[in-house]
Amino acid sequence: MEGRMQDWPLIVSRVLEYAARWHPAQEIVCRTVEGPVIISSYADLARRARLCALALQCLGIRHGDVVGTLAWNTTRHLESWYGIMGIGAVCHTLNPRLSDSDIAYIADHGQDRIIFADTTFLPILGRIWQQLPLLEAVVVLTDRQHMPAPSPDLPPKLLCYEQLLDAATPQLSSFAWPELDENTPCGLCYTSGTTGNPKGVRYSHRSNFLHSFIVTQPDALCIGAENSMLMVVPMFHANSWGVNFAAPMVGCRLVLPGPALDGASMYHMIEAYKVDVTAMVPTVVVGLLQHLAAHNTSLRSLRRLVIGGAAAPRSMIETLERSGIEVRHMWGMTELSPVGSIGLPTGPQLAEGMSDDDLLDRKACQGRPHVLCDMRLVDDSGEVLPHDGSAVGDLQVRGPIVVQQYHRHEQRTVDAERWFSTGDVASIDQHGTMKISDRSKDVVKSGGEWISSIALENTAAGHPKVLEAAVIAIPDERWGERPLLIVVPQPHAGDSEALRLEVLQYMASHPQVAKFARPDDVVVLPEIPHTATGKVSKLTLRKMFEGYKPRPAGGLSKL
C-alpha cells in the first residue's frame, strides 16, 4: 500500500513560478556590473528565465548538458540559473577567485559546453579557453552596447545575452517548463577544500528544494515576504548558501550586490533597501564593521546576520549583538548544499541562570544540525563518541542534502551507512550544540576561500633551492587564516634571508598560485618536524608558530 497523495516533483522551476505567481511585484534590487542599480520583480525574473531557457535550447543545450557560469550576484546571473536548471541542464558555477589553472581544470572536468560570463571575467576565459575543448561559446551577461570588441585576449565565440533573449521573445508564449524527475541534477559546484584536485558536488532539484526549506526556517535565516535580504555570499560559493532558492520560495525581497562587496557598498545597499537579514563570511563582516567604525555610523534596518563559511570570532558576535543585530553562526560545506548546523538562540530553560558571557560562548559555537542533517562524532578507530561536550572527534554527517558521490568519481565518498566525513574536528554537548575545534583536512581558509596547503607545498618544492616545504594556517584578524610557508633549504642554498625573499617572489609570480593564495611569509628552517610515520608534523609546526606575525617584507597583497 502506498500513500495516496500527489506525486509532485520538487523541481526548482516550481520555486520560480511560485514567486512569479504569488509574489509577482516583490522586488529584486541589483547593482549591475555596468554600474547602475536596477529594480525588477519576481514576475520579471520568471519571464526572463523562460527566455533564457529558450535561448539555451536554440543553442542546442539539452537535458543533462552542463552550462558554466562565471559571474557576480546579479539578476542576469540568477535568471540564467533558473533558465539552465529549469530545462534539465546542469548549472556549473565557476569561482573566478581561483587560479587560471584551477578554473580550467574545473570547467574541463565539469564538461561545460557553454559558459555564461560577466564582462569582468572575460579575460580569464581569454587565457584558458584553449584548454576547454568542449566549450562551444561564451554568453556575455550584458547588452549589445556593453559587448566587448573581438580581441586576441578574449575567447573567440562571444554571444550577447540580451540579444539572445530578444531573439527568443517571439516563442515566449508557447514555452512551458518541462516536468522533470526531482532527482535530475541541476547544479554543480567544485570544492577545493579537499586533498588533491577540486571535486564537483552535483546537486539535484530535490536536494536544492529541500535545502531551501531549511534555509527559510525560523531557526535558520527566518525569512518571509516581509523581509529584505541582501545576498552577499557569491553564487559561486555553494549556491549562495541556498538564498537564491529560499528567497523566491517565500517571496522575500532580494538585494543583489553585484561586484561591489566592500564595506561601503554593503552599507549603502543595506541602508538604501532597508535590508533586515543578510548572511556573510567573517571577512566581509570585518569590512562592514570597519566601514561603520570609520564613519561612526550604524545599520538602522539590519536585524539578523548569519555568519558562516569560517568560524565567527566571539568578539565579532559580541560587537554585533551589542549594536542590536542578532547573530546566527552557521556551519556548512559545499558537500552539504551547504547548511549543516545553525547557532540557534538559546531556549529559555537553558538560558536561565546563564551569564551574558556564557550566552556569548554558546553563540560562538556552530550550533545544532537541522532536520535534514544527521550528525555524529567518531574517534580514529571509527567508534562513535558521546555528546558530552568534552569528547572530540571527526564530524560526520548524512542526509538528503549531503553528497553521496563526487561528479565523475567512480567511488562513493560515504561509508556503507552513508556517513560523510567532513574533515572537521568537533565536540557536541548534551544540549546538541556542536563546536568545531580543528580541521583534519590539510587546507587553509582565507576570506572564505580555500588554499590548498599541498598545492602550495608542491609549488614551493619546485624552487631549485628548496629541499622540503610545509604550509600551515596562521590566524589573521581580517582573513581568518593566512598561509605561512616553511622551507628547508638545499645544501649550499646560501643566505636564509635572501632565500626567503627569493621564495616569496617565486610564489608570487607562479601562475598556479592565485593571488589570494600567496603565502604571507616564508620561514627558512634547518629541518621540519616529522611524525613517527614520516609525515610532516603540522601539529608541531602549528605549536612552534603560535602567535607568529608575518614580517612586513612578506606582506604581499592578499585577495
Number of residues that bind ligand ADP (CB under 6 A): 24
d(CA 107, CA 128): 10
Q: How far is the CB of 140 from ligand ADP (least distance, A)?
A: 26
- Of these residues, 32, 69, 191, 334, which one is catalytic? 191
Site string for ligand ADP, 261-300 (x = CB under 6 A): ----------------------------------------
Q: How far is the CB of 425 from ligand ADP (least distance, A)?
A: 9
Considering only 177-185, 355-363, 416-424, 494-502, which stretch makes contact with ligand ADP by CB under 6 A? Answer: 416-424
Considering only 35-43, 148-156, 325-333, 453-461, which stretch makes contact with ligand ADP by CB under 6 A? Answer: 325-333
Q: Which of 118, 276, 394, 424 binds ligand ADP (CB under 6 A)?
A: 424
Please say if 157 is a catalytic residue.
no
Q: Treating both helix axes as pointing N-terminal to C-terminal, what angle do 75-86 and 42-58 enclose, rounded to 10 degrees?
A: 60
d(CA 262, CA 391): 40
Please say if 74 is a catalytic residue.
no
Please say if 194 is a catalytic residue.
no
d(CA 498, CA 505): 11
- Residue placing its CB nearer to ligand ADP in the complex, 477 or 495: 477
Q: Is residue 309 part of the contact set for ligand ADP (CB under 6 A)?
A: yes
- Of these residues, 177, 445, 481, 502, which one is catalytic? 445
Q: Is residue 308 part of the contact set for ligand ADP (CB under 6 A)?
A: yes
- Residue placing its CB nearer to ligand ADP in the complex, 237 or 463: 237
Residue showing cell 516536468: 179
Site string for ligand ADP, 156-195 (x = CB under 6 A): -----------------------------------x-x--
Residue showing cell 530553560: 349
Of 76, 169, 62, 86, the C-alpha closest to 117 is: 76
Residues 341-370 that bind ligand ADP (CB under 6 A): 366
Q: How far is the CB of 402 from ligand ADP (least distance, A)?
A: 12
Give, in degrees to the nearest 5, the angle at Cα 500 between 494 and 504: 135
The H-assigned helical ranges of 424-512 are 453-461, 496-509
Please say if 535 is a catalytic residue.
no
d(CA 42, CA 24): 5
Residue type, 257: P
Q: Is residue 333 part of the contact set for ligand ADP (CB under 6 A)?
A: yes
Q: How far is the CB of 399 from ligand ADP (least distance, A)?
A: 15
Measure CA of the first residue to CA of the last residue in the chain; give whole Å: 58
Burial label for 10, CB within 10 Å (0-12, 13-18, 19+), is middle
- Residue placing its CB nearer to ligand ADP in the complex, 155 or 242: 242
Which residues have a Cβ under 8 Å from the Cβ of 246 and sit 6 or more positions away?
212, 213, 215, 216, 221, 223, 252
Q: Is residue 338 part of the contact set for ligand ADP (CB under 6 A)?
A: yes
Q: Per DSSP, which regions of 134-195 are E strands?
A: 137-140, 158-160, 185-191
Q: How far is the CB of 473 from ligand ADP (least distance, A)?
A: 11
For 498-527, letters b (16+ CB in 10 Å) and e give ebbebbbebbeebeebbebbbbbbbbbeee
Q: Is residue 238 part of the contact set for ligand ADP (CB under 6 A)?
A: yes
Q: Is residue 237 part of the contact set for ligand ADP (CB under 6 A)?
A: yes
Q: Per DSSP, which regions of 349-447 are E strands?
A: 368-369, 374-378, 393-398, 420-428, 434-439, 443-446
- Residue placing its CB nearer to ligand ADP in the complex, 139 or 232: 232
Q: Is residue 332 part of the contact set for ligand ADP (CB under 6 A)?
A: yes
Which residues form the catalytic set?
A: 191, 335, 445, 450
The residue ranges that bind ligand ADP (CB under 6 A) are 191, 193, 237-238, 308-311, 329-334, 338, 366, 422-424, 436, 439, 445, 448, 450
